[in-house]
Every structure is written in C-alpha cells, then in structure tokens.
Structure 1
Amino acid sequence: MFIRRVDIKNYRGIKNLTWVIPKDQNFICMIGPGDSAKSSILEAVYLALCERWSLSLSDTDFFDANIEEPIVIRVALTELSDDIITHQALGLELSGIADDGCLLHDPEAGAEVCIVIQLKIDADLEPHWSAYREGGKEPFTRVGSGIRGKLAAFKVDERIDNHLRWSKSSALARMTEAKHGTSGTLAAAARASRVAVAGALSPELRELTDSIQAKLHEMGSGSFVDLQPGLDTSVPSSGGLLSLFEGKVPLTNFGLGSRRLAGISTQQLAYYAKTVLMIDEVEYGLEPHRLVHLLGRLRNSSSAAQAFVTTHSPVAVEQLNAEDFAVIRSSYGDVKIKMLRDYPAIQALLRSRPSAFLARKVVLAEGRTEYGLLLGLLDDWNSKQAVGGAPSSSALGVAVADGVGGVQAAQRAQSLIELGYEVVLFIDNDDRGADKEIQDAASLGCEVVRWSLGNATENQLMETLDAAGLSSLIELAVDTRSGRATVCQDIDSFWENGKLEDLDVGRWVESGAMTIEEARSLICKSAIKRKWFKGIDYGKKLASWVIANPEFLTGSQFAKVLEELRQAIYTTGSSTAGKTSEA
C-alpha cells in the first residue's frame, strides 16, 4: 500500500491542504517551524486509516473551533493488496489517480488504481469512514474497522506502551492472533502466568518474543538479551497483565527511546503486509547514534511500504538526503507542502547548514567573511536583546548560513523563499554579475541588505575610518596575519613609493607620504588581496573589533547598514520583505 494523495479540510490548524506525493517517495521527513501543522497532518492520516471504531474528539478539533464546517480527511491509496481489491465492498469502489495527482471517478488507462478513504466528522462528533469517489455523491460506501485494519497503517505516539502488552488492541495481541489464535494461546498463558510465569510460557509465545528481540536489534536497540513475556502487576486490567519483559524488568519501565523502538518493532511484525509507518518527532527519546541508525533503517526498510516522520533535530536533517524532505508551511490554515528534491539550488546548503532548514527565517551571508562577521555581531546583538527582555535571534527562529558567493547566495535565497522561508540576503555590492539574481530574489520577497554601490565589506569599512581607526584595524590584521612583518610586507607590496617604516597611518599622512584617501585605498587593497579577514574565524574577529571600537564607526554608512541588517533579523513577519537596500 502506498499513500499518493492527502486532502484535509477543517482539522485542527488546517483549514485546507492538498498534498500530492510523488510515486517513488517511500520515505518522507516533514520539516517546518512550530505550528506549521506537521503533527496534525500525521494524526489526520492516521485517523483516516486506523482500525479504531470510535475517536476521542471535541469542538477544538475543528479549525478555529467552527463546528459548522465538517472535518474531511481523504487519503488516496495505491499499490493495493489483493484482499483490498477483491473485497466485497471496496472492490466496487476503486478509483483512479493520474500522475499529477488528479483523482478520477474510475480507473482509467494510464492512471494508477486507487481507493480513497474518507473520514468525515460533523458537529455531532461522530466519525464516518467511507470510500470516496471523485464526482460521486454522498453517502459513499461505508468502510468498517475490519477492512481498515488490513490497510496496515500505524503511528508511533504516546500510546506506545499499549503495544508492549498483550492487551485487546495491541500489536502483540494481533501477532498472537495471526499466528496462534488469541483465544487459546493467550488466555492459557495469561492464566498460567498467575501461577508460574516463567515456567508456563508456551513455545509459540517464546517464538514470538525471539522474533521481537531480533527485530529490536535490527531497529537499533541491541541491549535486549532475555526478552520474554511476564506478569505486569502494575496493570489492573486482566487483559493487559501479560507484557514484554527483559529478564525481570517490564519493557514499560525502560527509557522512552527503547520503548518507542520496541513499539515500532512489534507493530511492524504484527502486520502481514508492508506497513505505512508514521512517527511524530522521530528523535524523541533517542540518542544521536540510535536516531541515525533508525533513520537508516526506515529509509531502506523491507517491512514498510512508506514511512512518514517529522523532526526538529539537526542531527536527523544532516543524516538525510535532500529528496527525503517535505517542507511544511501554514498561513492562516492554508497549508502548503513542497518537496525539497524539486529545488536543486539549495541541496548543498542542506549539507553545510542543515539547521537552517528548521528555521522560520534564514539569513544568507554572501561569503565566509560576511558569515563570520554576522555570527560575531549576533552574539553581541543577542546579549543586548536579553538585557532588554527581548527574544534572541534563535528564539525568533532565525538561522544564519554561508551563501558561498553572490550568485549562489541569491539563487539559494530564491529557492528558500519558494519553499516558504523568510530570507534576508546580506551581500556585497561590488559584483554586477549577481545583480539579476539578487533582483529576482527581491521580487519574490527576499529582503536584501547591501553595502554602498561598488563596495565589498572591506571597502565599506575602510572608507569610514580616520587615521586612528585605520591604524587600529591594522593591529587586528597583525593578529590575523600572524605578525607585524607579514602585514608590513602585505602593505609594501602595494606601495609604489618605497618602503613604509611603520604601521602608524597618522605618521604616514603627517609626513606627507600619502593622503588619508590614499591610505584607505592602500590598506583596503592589502586587506582584500592578502585576505586579512577572509574566513569565518577572521570574520568573527572583525566583528569583535567593530563591537569594541564604536568611536570609529558611529554615524557611518557602515554602521547604518549593520543596523539595517539587525532590524531585518529581529523584525518578525514580512513587512520588510522584498526590500532591496543599496546604502
């Protein structure tokens, strides 16, 4: 079974969503800021496909708590098993789905055969499952819990402990029923367990727990060596007395990560067909190494037809490929989902700065100098935000990334905006070859912050400084260039009138060797050509110098551009989007 399309209306934070899933998308990691409806999407799909006959619902499950508009969830399924296709009721309700995701009333040539499961909930809060047909009229054919159970869809959630016990609706009970018949094996084992649990276990239950233990090792929890059924006296219900134990300890006493892995393993084993697996916050309770292993297993699973996960973890993002991600954005309940695989311009950014894809707003600095400068400035700006009781850039969901050059930075900005991110582009103004891409990004809503026309960072800074400021900046270069002799050589190589005796710019000007304008040009050329501040660490040192020497910069164009950049970072919403600044 394969999910090809999801339609959701009026469920929780979702007013409207239509999501067409590519044919070959077996694994999907959903990313997006908080309240973008990731969890609600998974829950909606699960409710439509689960085998439960009743749901715990309230008025607040309706979008904006408006019960006048029904909740409607539709899930189009392809690659159906034979028992679904030949089912007495559903076999007559088959539809078609075109390559572009368009639903068809009947299967047609060139389209995939599908069935669309619809869950509808009206103001009476009663759930109604049916087989939807595009262009058809209600009432549609009812789909009962028995046939939904054959769909083999399950979600890992807070009820995971239930699947570690032989309770009525658990995965362990399903496994036992499928292989050995619950009414005999389970009842006898539960009855005998009250007398002597360890000695009364049937060979069939031992065989089941051996298979679960092997599956657990496969999923990345390899610490279990003595998995067996046991009597869990913490559960008052007689139906839930028999539970999985590791030695003498019930699995429900283990950590959350181990319990989640055990629940996933038992649920996958419980279904005779390949499953559709849904995991909200896949990293929850797992150490990084176990998370990495689990993601690898899910991406290449032989027991899952599809796996849908959500994450807020940079570890998860950096382990996956661009084609694995679906980016979720919501605007007043209108939810959009776009596949990252359709945006090749930013796949390199995924490798270098995975956490940027978990942000609301991304600030792209043109190169390593600007990136380091911005990182250093953010430390200072965030400290001042805290003093004033205002949120930090991180709290506002802002991430900073290296744009790797003017054209690439602008192209990445365009792709990020199309995916729904707010983007600020902090970029030099000396490369006319990047102007078109920058303007295109601005037209899409990117806020562009640039130096004065013709200036790179070094040019903008140097034209601001007087002799004392230039001399102070040279002292910083002495540090980044590992000594005065190196800096002297750098400057002398561009000075055509002999050899300078010292690094005091004031004396250069006073002696008549050069004007202050010539000094600025000479130092700027040396800084650019000899890469005084080229690199992230050197950019950070430049930021520290800027912060420590406000007297050289107050009122300057350099300071005005940095203030504009600060405002762009800490301003929420999109009121400044699309503005292009050339100071």
Structure 2
Amino acid sequence: MKIRRLDIKNYRGIRDLSWIVPEDHQLLMLVGPGDSTKSTIIDALYLALSERYSLSLSDTDFYLGNVDEPITIRVTLIELSAEVMKHNVLGMEMGGIKEDGTLTHDPGDGDKTCLTIQLSIDADLEPIWSVYREGGTEPFTQIGVGARKKLSVFKVDERIDGHLRWSRTSALGKLTESEHDTSGTLAAATRASRAAVTKAISAELQTLTGEVQTRMNQLGSGNFKALRPGLDTSVPSSSGLLALYEDQVPLMNYGLGTRRLAGLATQQLAHSGKSILMIDEVEYGLEPHRLVFLLSKLKGSGDIAQAFITTHSPVAIEQMKATDVFVVRSDGAGGVQVHSFSGSPNSAQAVLRSNPSALLARRVFFGEGRTEYGLLLGLMEAWDRERVVLGDTPAVGLGTALADGGGGSTAPVRARMLQGVGYETYVLMDNDDRGVDKAVRQAGRAGVTVIRWSLEKATEAELVESLSSDLLTDLLDIAVQNRVDERTVLHDLNNKLTSGAVLIDLDVDTWVADHEMTIEECRALIASAASEYSWFKNPDQGRNLAAWVLDHELDLDGSEFWAKIMEVKAAMYPQEPAEGDAEPESDVDG
C-alpha cells in the first residue's frame, strides 16, 4: 500500500494543501525552513490513517483558530492489500486516480484503483473518519478503527517509550497478539511478572523478545545481547507492567536515540508486511553515524512501502538522492506547496552535497566562488554581531543562509534551481567572464537577484578600483596575513609584474616613486596577484578581507564596491514588516 495523494484544509498552519505524491519513491524527505508546516503534514497523515479511537484536539488545531471552517484531511491510497480490498472491509468504496493525481468516482481506463480516507473535524472537535468518493455526496461511508488497523501505518514520535512496554495498544502488545493469537497472553504475562518476573516468562515470549533484539541491532539501536521481558516498576497501573530489559537495565533508561530506534524496531515487527512509516525529525537523539545508518536501512528496507520523514539535519540531507527530497513552502497565508527537484536533479544533487544546510533556509545567498563566499561569510558574521548588540534579529533568524556557488555559471544555475522550488535566492558574482552571461540572464528571468561588480571586474579588481596608495598598502597587510609572510606576497607581485622592475617592499608610494608606476598600474597589479595566487580564497581569508572592508567603510563609501556591499546587506536582512503588518501566527512547526 502507498500514499498517492494528500489534501489538507484548515489544519494548523495549513489553509490549503494538495500534494500528488510520486508513487515510485520509497523514502520521501520533507525539508524547508521552520514554520513551513513539515511536521503538520506528517501529523495530518498519521491522524487520518492511524487506528486511534479518539484524538486530542483543541481550537488551536484549526487554521487561525477559526472553528467555523472544518478541518478536512484526505489521504488517497493505492496498491491496497487483498485484506483491505475485501468487500466486507472497504472493497465496495474504491475510486480511481489518474496519472496526474486527479480523482474519479470509479476507476476508468488507465486509472489506478484507490481508496481515499477522509478525516473531518468540526467545531465540536469530534473526529469522523469516512471514505471519500470524488463526485459522491455526503454523508460518506464511515470507517471504523478496525478497518484502519488493516492499513499498517505507524509513526515514530515522542511517545516512543510506550512501545517498549507490553500493553494492549503498544507495538509489543500487538506483536504478541499476532504471534500467539490469544487475548490472554499479555494478561497472563503481566500477572506472572508480579509473581516471579524472570522465572515466569514463557518460552514464546522470550523467543519473541529475541526477534525484537535482532531487529533493534539491525537498525543500529545498540549491541543488545541479553534482551528480556522484565517488570517495569515505573508504571503504577495494572497495564503495561511488563517491559523490555537489557539484562538488568530497562530500555527506558537508555538514551533517546536508542529508545527511538528500539521503538521503530518493535513497530516494524508489529506491522508485518509492507507498511507506511512516518518519522518527524529523524535525526532527533541520534549521533550522525547512527543517523546515516538508519537512513541507509530505510532506503533498502523490504518491510516498508513508503517512509515519510522530516529533518533539520544537513547530515540527513546529504545522504539523499535529490529526487527523494521534497521542499515544503508556505506562502504566509496558509497556502502550502510541496516542491520536487525532478526537473533539475543534477543541480539539486550538487547543492545537497555541497550546501545541504541551504535547503533549511528561507532565502539562500550564493557566493559565486570561494572568494565571494568567504567575503559573504565575514560580512554576515560582522553584521550579525552588530545587530545582536542592538537587539535586532541576526540573519539566521530572518531565514538567510549562505552557500558556495561552485564558481562560474554553476552559481546562477544552482540559484535558479532553488528559486524554482520556492526559495528566495541571490548571487554575488564577478563580471569578468562573458561565458556566464547566459546563465545569469536565465537566473534573472527566473527571479534570482544577481549582484555583479562593474563590467569586466572581478571582486579583487572592484575592491582596489578606488583605493588610494595608502589604502592599497594597508590592504597588502591583509594579504600578508593570508599568505603567511611578506616574502610570499612580494614573490606573487613580482611574478605578475611585466615592467622588468623588482619590488622589494609592500609600500605602494615607493612603487610609484621608485618604479614610476601609476596608481592605476598599482591597482591592476594587486588585483591580478590577489586573483592569481588566491589571497582571499578560503573562509578565513574571506573573513579577514570582510573585516578590513568594514573597517574602511568611510574610505569605501561612494565607490561602486561599497554600493554592491550595501545591496548584499539589504538582501541578507530584508526589511521586517511594520507593526501591525505581520501575518498572524497560526502554527508552530519544527
């Protein structure tokens, strides 16, 4: 069974969402900035398909708290199991879905048979599950918890500890029932645990625990060797007293990551066959190496038909194929879209590998190459420090992230690709290479803001364009810091000098006086050497350059270089809405 379409109306921060889910993806990772409603999508899927009898709801679960507009969640399923297709379950309620995701009342030629589960919640907060039929009339046929159990859907969330105990609703409880086909197994085991915990555990229950241990180890939860049922004295009720122990230590005492993986293992076993898995913030509680291993297991799992996961982790994003990553974007007025990278997978894959954190921002600022990227890093860090002192929001709080553009035409191509899936994108670029002009024009037409230096100028040339001899000499001190010593900088300069003269110091006034160089020639020499020998090509060197630039604001003010720097600042820190203009908050989402 697979989810093929999701429609949500008026649930938390989502006023309206329609997502046609590609059917050929097993692992679907939802990314995007905070408050983009990624977690809300996961929650909505689970509410509609879970086997709960009731839901904990409040007025705040309605979009903008408006209970006059009901919550509607529809999940369309395909490739249904034979058990679900039985007439006495849901077989008489099947509709059709076309290749483009359009629903039909009955399957037509070329359509796939589907089942659409609808969850409706009105102002009375009473959930109603029913089977939606396109073109049908309400009331639709209601669907009970018994039928929803057959859908085999589970979610890993903060209530994971409950699945490490035996109870009627836990994964261990369900697994015990399915393995031994008796309603008395759990009750007998619980009574036995009160009397003589270890001695009274049946061989069947210990065998089942061994299966759980194997699955937990396979998922990287730990290296368990003595897993067994034991008495959980932390639960004062008559249910759920029997829990998993590793020798003498209850699993509830282990770290969060271990417990989440253990809960995932038990739920996988309890939902035998092809199940649908949902994990919000997959990285939560896991070290990077265990996160990487878990993702690799999920991608190759034969027990999972689909896995929907959200993440805020660049490590998790790095592990994915670009076509398995989906960007969730909210328009600020409750309209939510889910974008894919299917149109530009190669460019997207490059960003996933080089700048995965960029996908977690609202706006992305690319430095064309390493010089521009390093300069941007230094500028943002300095401006952020100033803003924090003044009580203003730093760039990260405004959703701005920096990324290395990869050089040349790659930067505008990457920016255009992200712009196409809902990001605001910017590029700071050189203007000395006519071979990239086409890519720049295409990016501009797609909505990318491209900030370029003057015609035929690279960053180094634009910087020195208006500097006096004293400021050029001062700038050479930064080159010395970046290039280790003065001798190296002199070597770089003399290698680029074509007049036959030999420079013996880094005093530009001396060059003018002793070698009859013009100030324009001095500027060109410094710019050429800086570019050729990568004086400002790594992040630390870029930070040094940015600090120098900001220290000389008054000297640079009025220059073309400084005008472009101010354009960069305005893009990094967009004007915040005036008081009373901001959109009302409707959802808090990771």
| Aligned-residue offset at 1:380 | 1.6
Q: Hey, what does 1:567 align to over in structure 2? A: 570
The answer as to whether partners of 1:185 and 1:202 remain within 8 angstroms in 2 is: no
More displaced 10-residue stretch of structure 1: 6-15 or 316-325: 316-325
Q: Following the alignment from structure 1 to structure 2, what is the Cα–Cα distance between the partners of residues 35 and 373?
A: 30
Q: Following the alignment from structure 1 to structure 2, what is the Cα–Cα distance between the partners of residues 496 and 266?
A: 74
The answer as to whether partners of 1:78 and 1:112 remain within 8 angstroms in 2 is: yes
TM, length-normalised to structure 1: 0.94
Q: Which amino acid aligns with 1:562?
A: I
| Aligned-residue offset at 1:572 | 5.1
| Aligned-residue offset at 1:493 | 4.3
Say whether 1:540 aligns with 2:539: no
Q: Following the alignment from structure 2 to structure 1, what is the Cα–Cα distance between the partners of residues 496 and 186?
A: 88
Is the alpha carbon distance of 1:15 and 1:550 closer, same or farther for their aligned partners in structure 2, counting shifts above 3 Å? closer
Within 5 Å, give how 1:66-81 maps onto structure 2. Answer: 66-81=66-81
Q: Which amino acid aligns with 1:41?
A: I
Q: Which amino acid aligns with 1:361?
A: R
Q: Following the alignment from structure 1 to structure 2, what is the Cα–Cα distance between the partners of residues 483 and 159?
A: 59
Q: Hey, what does 1:578 align to over in structure 2? A: none
Deviations 1:490-521 (A, max 9, x none): 43444444313433221232347122122222
Q: Following the alignment from structure 1 to structure 2, what is the Cα–Cα distance between the partners of residues 172 and 150?
A: 17
Say whether 1:288 aligns with 2:288: yes
Q: Following the alignment from structure 1 to structure 2, what is the Cα–Cα distance between the partners of residues 325 and 547?
A: 39
| Aligned-residue offset at 1:188 | 1.7
The answer as to whether partners of 1:426 and 1:449 remain within 8 angstroms in 2 is: yes
Q: Hey, what does 1:336 align to over in structure 2? A: 337
Deviations 1:93-112 (A, max 9, x none): 11121221111211223222
Say whether 1:441 aligns with 2:443: yes
The answer as to whether partners of 1:466 and 1:552 remain within 8 angstroms in 2 is: no
Is the alpha carbon distance of 1:333 and 1:435 closer, same or farther for their aligned partners in structure 2, counting shifts above 3 Å? same
| Aligned-residue offset at 1:304 | 1.1
Q: Following the alignment from structure 1 to structure 2, what is the Cα–Cα distance between the partners of residues 173 and 490?
A: 73
More displaced 10-residue stretch of structure 1: 11-20 or 167-176: 167-176
| Aligned-residue offset at 1:540 | 3.2
Q: Following the alignment from structure 2 to structure 1, what is the Cα–Cα distance between the partners of residues 107 and 299?
A: 30
Q: Which amino acid aligns with 1:342?
A: G
Deviations 1:252-307 (A, max 9, x none): 23222122111111111112322101011111111222211111111111211111
| Aligned-residue offset at 1:484 | 4.2
| Aligned-residue offset at 1:417 | 1.2
| Aligned-residue offset at 1:129 | 1.1
Within 5 Å, give how 1:171-182 maps onto structure 2. Answer: 171-182=171-182
Q: Following the alignment from structure 2 to structure 1, what is the Cα–Cα distance between the partners of residues 185 and 517?
A: 98
Within 5 Å, give how 1:185-334 maps onto structure 2. Answer: 185-331=185-331, 332-334=333-335
Within 5 Å, give how 1:399-548 maps onto structure 2. Answer: 399-502=401-504, 503-511=506-514, 513-548=516-551
Is the alpha carbon distance of 1:496 and 1:285 closer, same or farther for their aligned partners in structure 2, counting shifts above 3 Å? closer
The answer as to whether partners of 1:362 and 1:401 remain within 8 angstroms in 2 is: yes
Is the alpha carbon distance of 1:197 and 1:98 closer, same or farther for their aligned partners in structure 2, counting shifts above 3 Å? same
Aligned equivalent of 1:557, options 557, 560, 571? 560
Is the alpha carbon distance of 1:485 and 1:499 closer, same or farther for their aligned partners in structure 2, counting shifts above 3 Å? farther
Q: Hey, what does 1:23 align to over in structure 2? A: 23
Q: Which amino acid aligns with 2:572?
A: I
Is the alpha carbon distance of 1:175 and 1:485 closer, same or farther for their aligned partners in structure 2, counting shifts above 3 Å? closer
Secondary structure of the structure 2 residue equivalent to 1:239:
coil
Q: Following the alignment from structure 2 to structure 1, what is the Cα–Cα distance between the partners of residues 451 and 30?
A: 31
Is the alpha carbon distance of 1:572 and 1:173 closer, same or farther for their aligned partners in structure 2, counting shifts above 3 Å? farther
Q: Following the alignment from structure 1 to structure 2, what is the Cα–Cα distance between the partners of residues 310 and 95?
A: 30
Q: Hey, what does 1:150 align to over in structure 2? A: 150
| Aligned-residue offset at 1:355 | 0.9
Q: Which amino acid aligns with 1:334?
A: G
Q: Which amino acid aligns with 2:140?
A: F
Q: Hey, what does 1:386 align to over in structure 2? A: 388
Deviations 1:93-143 (A, max 9, x none): 111212211112112232221111111112222211111111111122221
Secondary structure of the structure 1 residue equivalent to 2:199:
coil
| Count, aligned residues | 575
Deviations 1:535-583 (A, max 9, x none): 44433332243244446434433222212211210115799xxxxxxxx
Q: Which amino acid aligns with 1:186?
A: L
Q: Following the alignment from structure 2 to structure 1, what is the Cα–Cα distance between the partners of residues 248 and 494?
A: 79
Is the alpha carbon distance of 1:496 and 1:445 closer, same or farther for their aligned partners in structure 2, counting shifts above 3 Å? closer
The answer as to whether partners of 1:362 and 1:423 remain within 8 angstroms in 2 is: yes
| Aligned-residue offset at 1:36 | 0.8
Q: Hey, what does 2:587 align to over in structure 1? A: none
Secondary structure of the structure 1 residue equivalent to 2:209:
helix
Is the alpha carbon distance of 1:505 and 1:39 closer, same or farther for their aligned partners in structure 2, counting shifts above 3 Å? same
| Aligned-residue offset at 1:532 | 3.4
Q: Which amino acid aligns with 2:170?
A: S
Q: Following the alignment from structure 2 to structure 1, what is the Cα–Cα distance between the partners of residues 254 and 126?
A: 37
Is the alpha carbon distance of 1:498 and 1:187 closer, same or farther for their aligned partners in structure 2, counting shifts above 3 Å? closer
Q: Which amino acid aligns with 2:224?
A: F
The answer as to whether partners of 2:374 and 2:536 remain within 8 angstroms in 1 is: no
More displaced 10-residue stretch of structure 1: 421-430 or 475-484: 475-484
Secondary structure of the structure 1 residue equivalent to 2:200:
coil
The answer as to whether partners of 2:167 and 2:186 remain within 8 angstroms in 1 is: no
Q: Hey, what does 1:159 align to over in structure 2? A: 159
Secondary structure of the structure 1 residue equivalent to 2:151:
coil
Secondary structure of the structure 2 residue equivalent to 1:199:
helix
The answer as to whether partners of 1:229 and 1:243 remain within 8 angstroms in 2 is: yes
Q: Hey, what does 2:62 align to over in structure 1? A: 62
The answer as to whether partners of 2:13 and 2:334 remain within 8 angstroms in 1 is: yes
Q: Hey, what does 2:583 align to over in structure 1? A: none
| Aligned-residue offset at 1:356 | 1.0
Q: Which amino acid aligns with 1:358?
A: L
Q: Hey, what does 2:586 align to over in structure 1? A: none
Gaps of 5+ in 1: 576-583
Q: Following the alignment from structure 2 to structure 1, what is the Cα–Cα distance between the partners of residues 533 and 246?
A: 64
Q: Hey, what does 2:10 align to over in structure 1? A: 10
Q: Which amino acid aligns with 1:214?
A: T
Is the alpha carbon distance of 1:444 and 1:247 closer, same or farther for their aligned partners in structure 2, counting shifts above 3 Å? same
Secondary structure of the structure 2 residue equivalent to 1:197:
helix
| Aligned-residue offset at 1:489 | 4.4
Secondary structure of the structure 2 residue equivalent to 1:19:
strand
Gaps of 5+ in 2: 579-590
Secondary structure of the structure 2 residue equivalent to 1:527:
helix
Q: Which amino acid aligns with 1:304?
A: I
The answer as to whether partners of 2:221 and 2:259 remain within 8 angstroms in 1 is: no
Higher relative contact order (CA 8 A, sep 6+): 2
